[in-house]
Amino acid sequence: MEEHDKFKSQIRSIYRLLTTLMVLFGITALAVVYLISDPTLSFFKEPTPVEEYAVVPSEDDFDKIENGIHVRTGFKDSEGLMAVVNNCTNCHSAQLVIQNRMNAERWKATILWMQETQNLWDLGKNEDIIVNYLVTNYPPQKKGRREILRDISWYDLKE
Ligand code: HEC
């Protein structure tokens, strides 16, 4: 009987040891997972105050021109720039305007199309200013993707 009790208590202590190991392992695993998701332990630190209004550019930066480009929109700086910025960037990005190169007639037709179908307002006196700006700065591109090859000196392929 004594043998049996001894055996029982041995089993119990092994069991306790295993349980302790499992608990330690669990805690370590949790710590590792936490460290992976928050390596700087920022959860335990005072949050750094976020500066309010940090993203709103100052009045000067808002219409800044850099290297002849209106930074906020990407339009070229030229006569009529602000009329274009104020009327043509409300619904879509300036890029949509810039990447379309047309002559005056087609610019007018595009504006008319937007007025008839997209709720673009009457541009009044600004229309001429805007069309003038667009043809001056974004005229149709005469050249295609590359010039036609001319005066090519072909060479014979040797075997
Ligand atoms: C009231 C909203 C609005 C305003 C303001 C506006 N547009 Fe548009 N425009 C649109 C819509 C909507 C489309 C279609 C967009 C699309 O296809 O994703 C469009 C498309 C265009 C296109 C592409 C046309 C095509 O054939 O793909 C050009 C170029 C364009 N606009 C130029 C201008 C210019 C220049 C002005 C300033 C005079 C202007 N837009 C102002 C609504 C507007």
Mean pLDDT of the chain: 88
According to CATH, the superfamily of the domain at 61-137 is Cytochrome c-like domain (1.10.760.10)
The pTM is what?
Answer: 0.63
Residue ranges around ligand 1 (CB below 6 Å): 87-88, 90-92, 96-97, 100, 110-111, 114, 118-120, 130
pLDDT digits (tens, 9 = 90+) for 108-124: 999 999 999 999 999 99
* Chain-centre distance for alpha carbon 96: 16
Q: Which of 84, 89, 107, 120 to mutate to test the pocket of ligand 1 (most atoms within 8 A of CB)?
A: 120
Q: Residue 75 burial by CB count (10 A; 0-12/13-18/19+): exposed, middle or buried? A: buried
Lowest mean pLDDT among 1-10, 55-64, 66-75, 89-98: 55-64
Q: How far is the CA of 72 from the centre of ligand 1 (A)?
A: 18
Q: Residue 62 burial by CB count (10 A; 0-12/13-18/19+): exposed, middle or buried? A: exposed
Sorted by where each begins, the domain ranges of the chain are 2-44, 61-137
Torsion sign across C-alpha atoms 9, 10, 14, 15: negative
Residue of 48 and 8 predicted with greater confidence: 8
Strand partners, 41: none
Contact predicate 81/70, CB 8 Å = yes
Q: Let me know how long the chain is.
A: 159
Q: How far is the CA of 85 from the centre of ligand 1 (A)?
A: 13
